[in-house]
Structures are given as C-alpha cells and as structure tokens.
C-alpha cells in the first residue's frame, strides 16, 4: 500500500477515533510489559489480603467487558480489551488509566468473583483466567487458568454466589463451576451461538440469550434440562386468532380428547411465518420488582421467502427493528406485548426527517438501574447508550434517554451510589463515565446536561489493529449509513461477529441463507450462492445494490478498509469435540466415507476448504429460485452454521446427510452408524 494512502488511513483513523462528546482524557503512559505471572501457578486461590485490595461493587452477578471495584473510596474500572489482549484498570474518579495487564488470549468478558478475584474469559483459548488485584491499584496477577468449552463469551453467578456459569459460543454450551474452587460441575449443550447468561432471583434457572436463532434458552440448574424460549414477533391480529385456536384446543382436550390436527397445523404455520429475532447478545433482570428477564434484540422482517424480492427482505418496511423481549422469570414465557413491532410513527406535527431516532439494532450490553428502573443498553453502530423503561409491557417503545458514547460500546457497569454509568467502548478503547443526573428530560438549549467524561487508553506499542482494520470494523458495524443500506442496516446485522444470522432472506435470486464470513472467504471464490461474483469487491457491490445502499458512495479507501476487515475476521477455534480414541476412529471412518466415490461428497467438496469453487445443480431449486445451479459452499466450519442449503431447508447436518433422493451425494446406502461417522468427520472440517 502506498505511503500516502497509509497516511490517509491513519488520518481517517484518528478522525474516526475522536468521536465522543464531553471532555476526553487520555491515560498516562503505562508499562507495556505485562505484570510477571507466577510460573507454574496452579492454585486459583487468593494470595493477597482482601482488605488491601480493591473491593468489587456488590450485587453484580453478571459478566461484562467492564467491572467496577472500589479502593479507598475511589472507583476502579476493569475493562476487557480484545484488541490488545489485555485488561486495563482505570481510575473512574480521577479519569486516568492506572495499569494494563497482558493476557494470553482475547478477553470476551470479565467479572469479579465474591472473594475479589477477577475471572476473565479468554475467547480464543477456551479458558477462564483467574486474576487477583495486586499490591498496586493498577496491578493484576494471574492465579490460574481453567479450561472451558470452546469460545467462552459470558459469565454469571448464582444468587448464592456458589456457582459460576459460563456460556460458550462456538462450543454451544453452558458450563457450571464451583465459584470458589473453579471445579467443573456440569456442561450442557445449547443451540447455536449462545451469548449472555443470567440467573433467576430464585436461583433455579439460568437464562441464556442467543445471537442467532430467534430464541433464548432456559436451563434448570437442578437437572440441566434445557427449554427453548421462542422469541418471534407477535402480530396483534395474529395473536387474537392464536388465542381463539388455543381455546379450541383447550376445549377439545378438556376431557382427554385430541387436539384437532388442522388447528395444530394452523398454529404451527403461524409460528413458522412469524418474523424472527436476532442479535441476542445481552440479558438483564428487572429490579424491585423482580421477576422479569429483559433481552435486548432485533426483530427482523426477512421477507416472504417463497417469493423473490427486490432487495434483501421486505421491500416495503424496515427490515430491522430494535426490541426488548420481556421473559417472565417464573414461567419462562415471553410477554407477547414485548414482541410486537412498533407501529408506524405518527402523531401530530411529527416531522419524520427529525423524528427518526436511530435504532439500536446492534445491542451488546444491558444493565438495570434499581433507582429509576431503567434498562440501559449499549448500542454498537449508533454508539449510544439508550435507557428504556424496564417495567414496561414493551420496553423498546418506552424509551427515556440517550447518551452518545465512544465508538464500539460493548459493556456497561452501573455505580448506583455515585449515580453514574461507566461504559467500555472497544473500537475507541475508551471508558465513558456518564452522570445519570436526576431523570429530568433535558431541553438542549435549556443549558447543558451533566457532562460525560471520556478516558482513552494509552496507545499500546504492540497494538495490533491497523488503521485500515479499525476503519473497516467501524464501517462493518455502522448503523444508519445510507451508503451501505437504505434502511440503515449494518453489515453486522446479517453477519454478527462476522458470522451469519442463520436466517433465510427473500432476494432477487430467490431464498438465500446468510453465509458465515469469518474464516471462510480466502480461497472460496466465487462468492454468493449464485457464484456469479468472482471476487469480494464484486460481491460487496452486488450486496450494496440489493440493500439499496448507494455503495458507490463509499470511497475506495473505505471499500478497501471494509475488504481488509472482512478478510481478517478470525474463524472460531476448531472444536475439540469427538476427541479421544473412540471419537478419532469414528472421524476416520467418516473421512473414508466422505472420500469414497460411491458416496460422492468429495466430488464437489474437494480440496482443503471442501469446495471445488464451481456451480452445480443438485436438484434443490425452489419455485422462487431463478436458477437451479448453486455455488458449492465450503464446508469449513460447517458444523456451527445451520440451517443448511441455500434456502435453509435442513435444520441440522444430519438432515442434510439423510436427505431423500440422493440428489446431492449418495447416502441412502449408508447405515445410521455410518451416517453418524460421516457427520462426525464433516463436523471437524
């Protein structure tokens, strides 16, 4: 890359980084050398006296990218910096950074344990690192690491502080550990992409959000039974019909009779048609009164997939709408009112040009303020913290206030005693300290409201993120950028964490399943299901067209940065499942079947990335498809990416392998055990 372009990128990165309001304070220079770790440390216990080290803010039992503690009446913020693989310690009152501790991996969340140790999840290491504040306020010392299922992403404690729960994203699991000894109690499998976890006030259930799949999960901690909670849009008109159908079932089954099949199938069809949700990254609980689990998410209108659309999804209405699902913590059932879409904004004198508050369609963290009963949600893309009424029947329609923050807010911690919120923003590597004020509705010209103070972390000599990557990441998460999408969607809307939203979209070509990006772009050209785009740049242009974005408005510098970022997206680490002698044998058997000409998988799924980069007709065309030929998808990381086929017709890998008619490969001659072996092998790709 030419020097002048590098300079431009650098300049742009600086401009882009300086976007917060309020006073900006930069951290003082801190040592880049990590604090020495005791070699061979195996004990997870504390070494320092708790009376001399920071004390965690009490009552916080949910992890985040930021955690608060107090020392000598000063408040310290501990932030998980996934760019620097480090934890920063910030003096919130003095507004400067005290120290930085290097980690062996990328931290996803951290949380103080009851005894003051800091548990930090290392996302790319499948580990929990246990640290302890040291003799100096800015110090952290590693005590031990504990293995956990692949890609740990969130933490929570039970109300009695006895059990530490960890969700693993790619590992699709909820793990439980003894909070003091950090020995594993159990691990239970979950649906795709679990993220946040929170425990009900009675300690009986863990609630887990999922980034994709239109659901949450409720796990009974006593017996680890998992109940899915469907989080799909509730259409008020449909709900009336649903209640009438359910009444018919109740009457029919009252005396032991059977539910009428046509009623059951009508209900199932209604569920299937209901618009899904996405972006379930955060959970919070209502406080005083309790009893509600709050799940910020996005309701998605992916269009009528039996028909072609002009773009991606419904051409007439906004495809994504911010929502907060309210789940009854006792029954595990969501409040229907919380899943209703907001009706078109109206009212007298509403000028739509100025009344369009940007939507929080990339929510990342949530916390409830007990004083005002407000739910604070940090929103990527619009770089704001939005406060909703946590007790409303539909919190997303009961907004209260907004605060602009630094770019990339993905963690919030509340300090009720000092009436403030402390926010960690990853893209700017900054901490924003928000004075929550007195719940007055501020008139901008009536005098400035309480100021937000910004503390930027000191530059790190080993900082890995180049200006191009930084800019590309910003663009990838940019909400409301008309150059990307007319309705304000971000790239991250359909590709959360650079993966896929597991949805099938109505498109001009027919139904199209979003494709996972991270780790699956290099060497897999051509792109898209149709395979007509020879390179990524062409594919981006087509995508912007379909999103009705004026993609041509992106400067070539910006397009280049976006490409650099997308190509840099790290794949999740391979699963360690199936390891062990029996598992290895099964995988080897499956590999043999895969390569066998009689089964025929390797005929198209060949090479290191399991694709021949060609188009084939495997008899999968639907009425809405323009063509029956589809680009052979790479099978790399396929195990984590259901549903399958261009129209998502197969929910699991197993269903793909036993698909009738042998239209894609020949598996009808294989036994159930042989299919299992084949599946085990494909899952390792």
Whichever of 342 and 620 has its CB closer to another protein, that residue is 342
Q: Residue 579: name the closest of 684, 671, 497 by CA.
A: 684
Minimum distance from residue 336 beta carbon to another protein (Å): 7
Q: Which residue has the tokens 């700017």?
A: 428
Q: What angle do CA 300, 302, 307 make, to 5 degrees?
A: 160
- Report yes or no: 310 and 508 within 8 Å, Cβ to Cβ: yes
Whichever of 339 and 604 has its CB closer to another protein, that residue is 339
Minimum distance from residue 419 beta carbon to another protein (Å): 14
Whichever of 263 and 685 has its CB closer to another protein, that residue is 263
Measured between alpha carbons, how far is 439 from 448 in angstroms, rounded to an integer? 14
Q: What's the token pair of residue 386?
A: 């939005």
Q: Are strands 152-157 and 163-168 parallel, antiparallel or unpaired?
A: antiparallel
Minimum distance from residue 294 beta carbon to another protein (Å): 11
Whichever of 370 and 553 has its CB closer to another protein, that residue is 370
Whether the ω angle into residue 202 lies within 30 degrees of 0, i.e. cis, is: no
Whichever of 11 and 240 has its CB closer to another protein, that residue is 240
Give 667's Cβ-side CA count (13 Å radius): 25
Residues at the contact surface with another protein, assessed by CB under 8 A = 236-237, 240, 243-244, 247, 286, 289-292, 326, 328-331, 333, 335-338, 343, 345-351, 354-357, 372-374, 387-389, 391-394, 397-402, 439-447
Whichever of 11 and 393 has its CB closer to another protein, that residue is 393
Whichever of 52 and 439 has its CB closer to another protein, that residue is 439
**Backbone angles phi and psi of 330, in degrees to 5:** -85, -45
Minimum distance from residue 238 beta carbon to another protein (Å): 11
Q: Residue 73: name the closest of 57, 61, 59 by CA.
A: 57
Minimum distance from residue 289 beta carbon to another protein (Å): 6
Using alpha carbons, list the distances in angstroms from residue 613 to 66, 511, 524, 530, 681. Answer: 43, 21, 6, 11, 21
Indicate the SS3 state at residue 649. Answer: coil
Measured between alpha carbons, how far is 680 from 685 in angstroms, rounded to an integer? 9
DSSP 104: S
Minimum distance from residue 548 beta carbon to another protein (Å): 23
For residue 576, give every residue at least 6 positions away whose Cβ sits within 8 Å of its Cβ, in sequence order, or none. Answer: 126, 150
Minimum distance from residue 479 beta carbon to another protein (Å): 16
Whichever of 442 and 673 has its CB closer to another protein, that residue is 442
Whichever of 342 and 548 has its CB closer to another protein, that residue is 342
In 342-378, which positions are buried (b, 16+ CB within 10 angstroms) versus exposed (e)? eeeeeeeeeeeeeeeebbbbbbbbbbbbeebbbbbbb
Q: Residue 122: name the closest of 157, 171, 161, 160 by CA.
A: 171
Whichever of 287 and 380 has its CB closer to another protein, that residue is 287
Q: Are strands 409-415 and 363-369 parallel, antiparallel or unpaired?
A: unpaired
Minimum distance from residue 388 beta carbon to another protein (Å): 8
Minimum distance from residue 365 beta carbon to another protein (Å): 20
Whichever of 286 and 314 has its CB closer to another protein, that residue is 286
Minimum distance from residue 432 beta carbon to another protein (Å): 20
**Backbone angles phi and psi of 556, in degrees to 5:** -60, -30
Whichever of 244 and 317 has its CB closer to another protein, that residue is 244
Q: Are strands 430-435 and 420-425 parallel, antiparallel or unpaired?
A: antiparallel
Residue 403's Cβ-count burial label (10 Å; 0-12, 13-18, 19+) is buried
Question: Three-state SS string across 479-530, please?
Answer: CCCCCCECCCCCHHHHCHHHCCCCCEEEECCEEEECCCCCCCCCCCCCECCC
Minimum distance from residue 355 beta carbon to another protein (Å): 4
Measured between alpha carbons, how far is 481 from 487 in angstroms, rounded to an integer? 9
Minimum distance from residue 375 beta carbon to another protein (Å): 11
Measured between alpha carbons, how far is 398 from 322 in angstroms, rounded to an integer? 12
Measured between alpha carbons, how far is 272 from 275 in angstroms, rounded to an integer? 8
Whichever of 269 and 357 has its CB closer to another protein, that residue is 357
Q: What's the token pair of residue 367?
A: 């916390």
Minimum distance from residue 369 beta carbon to another protein (Å): 10
Q: Are strands 24-26 and 452-456 parallel, antiparallel or unpaired?
A: parallel
Minimum distance from residue 173 beta carbon to another protein (Å): 29
Whichever of 337 and 550 has its CB closer to another protein, that residue is 337
Whichever of 40 and 289 has its CB closer to another protein, that residue is 289
- Report yes or no: 193 and 211 within 8 Å, Cβ to Cβ: yes
Q: Which residue has the tokens 């996934």?
A: 82
Q: What's the token pair of residue 66?
A: 């930021």
Minimum distance from residue 573 beta carbon to another protein (Å): 39
Minimum distance from residue 347 beta carbon to another protein (Å): 3
Would you put residue 422 in left (φ > 0), alpha (ψ -120 to 50) or beta?
beta
Whichever of 227 and 439 has its CB closer to another protein, that residue is 439
Measured between alpha carbons, how far is 671 from 663 in angstroms, rounded to an integer? 18
């Amino acid at each position: 890359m030419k020097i002048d372009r590098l300079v431009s990128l650098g300049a742009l990165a600086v401009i882009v980084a300086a976007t917060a309001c309020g006073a900006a304070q930069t951290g003082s220079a801190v040592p880049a050398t990590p604090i020495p770790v005791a070699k061979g440390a195996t004990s997870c216990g504390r070494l320092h006296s708790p009376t001399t080290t920071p004390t965690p803010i009490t009552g916080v039992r949910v992890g985040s990218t930021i955690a608060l503690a107090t020392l000598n009446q000063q408040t310290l913020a501990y932030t998980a910096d996934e760019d620097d693989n480090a934890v920063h310690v910030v003096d919130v009152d003095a507004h400067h950074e005290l120290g930085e501790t290097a980690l062996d991996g990328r931290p996803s969340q951290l949380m103080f344990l009851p005894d003051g140790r800091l548990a930090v999840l290392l996302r790319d290491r499948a580990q929990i690192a246990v640290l302890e504040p040291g003799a100096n306020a800015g110090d952290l010392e590693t005590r031990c690491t504990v293995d956990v299922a692949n890609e740990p992403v969130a933490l929570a404690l039970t109300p009695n502080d006895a059990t530490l729960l960890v969700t693993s994203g790619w590992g699709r699991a909820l793990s439980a550990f003894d909070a003091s000894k950090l020995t594993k109690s159990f691990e239970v499998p979950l649906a795709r992409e679990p993220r946040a976890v929170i425990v009900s006030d009675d300690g009986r259930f863990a609630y887990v959000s999922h980034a994709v799949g239109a659901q949450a999960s409720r796990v009974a901690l006593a017996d680890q039974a998992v109940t899915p909670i469907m989080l799909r849009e509730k259409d008020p008109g449909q709900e009336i019909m649903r209640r009438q159908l359910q009444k018919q079932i109740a009457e029919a089954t009252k005396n032991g009779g059977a539910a009428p099949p046509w009623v059951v199938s009508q209900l199932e069809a209604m569920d299937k048609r209901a618009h899904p949700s996405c972006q379930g990254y955060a959970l919070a609980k209502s406080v005083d009164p309790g009893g509600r689990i709050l799940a910020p998410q996005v309701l998605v209108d992916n269009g009528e997939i039996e028909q072609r659309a002009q773009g991606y999804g419904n051409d007439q209405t906004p495809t994504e709408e911010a929502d907060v699902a309210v789940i009854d913590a006792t029954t595990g059932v969501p409040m229907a009112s919380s899943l209703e879409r907001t009706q078109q904004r109206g009212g007298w004198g509403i000028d739509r040009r100025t009344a369009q508050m940007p939507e929080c369609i990339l929510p990342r963290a949530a916390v409830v303020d007990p004083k005002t009963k407000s739910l604070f949600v940090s929103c990527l893309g619009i770089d704001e913290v939005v406060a909703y009424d946590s007790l409303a029947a539909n919190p997303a329609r009961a907004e209260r206030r907004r605060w602009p923050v630094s770019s990339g807010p993905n963690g919030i911690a509340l300090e009720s005693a000092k009436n403030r919120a402390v926010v960690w923003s990853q893209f700017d590597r900054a901490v924003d300290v928000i004075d929550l004020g007195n719940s007055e509705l501020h008139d901008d010209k009536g005098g400035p409201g309480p100021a937000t103070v910004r503390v930027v972390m000191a530059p790190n000599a080993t900082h890995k993120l180049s200006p191009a990557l930084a800019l590309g990441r910003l663009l990838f998460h940019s909400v409301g950028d008309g150059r990307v999408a007319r309705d304000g969607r971000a790239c991250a809307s359909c590709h959360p964490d650079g993966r896929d939203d597991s949805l099938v979209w109505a498109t001009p070509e027919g139904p199209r399943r979003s494709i996972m990006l991270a780790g699956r772009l290099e060497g897999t050209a051509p792109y898209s299901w149709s395979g007509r785009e020879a390179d990524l740049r062409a594919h981006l242009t087509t995508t912007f067209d379909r999103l009705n974005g004026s993609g041509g408005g992106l400067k070539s510098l910006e397009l280049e940065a976006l490409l650099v970022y997308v190509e840099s997206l790290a794949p999740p680490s391979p699963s360690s499942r199936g390891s062990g002698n029996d598992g290895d044998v099964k995988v080897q058997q499956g590999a043999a079947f895969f390569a066998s000409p009689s089964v025929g998988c390797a005929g198209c799924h060949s090479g290191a990335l399991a694709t021949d980069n060609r188009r084939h007709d495997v008899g999968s065309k639907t009425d809405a498809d323009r063509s029956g030929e589809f680009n052979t998808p790479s099978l790399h990381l396929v195990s984590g990416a259901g549903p399958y086929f261009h129209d998502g017709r197969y929910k699991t890998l197993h269903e793909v392998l036993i698909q009738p008619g042998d239209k894609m490969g020949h598996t009808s001659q294989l036994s159930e055990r042989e299919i299992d072996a084949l599946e085990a092998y494909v899952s390792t790709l």
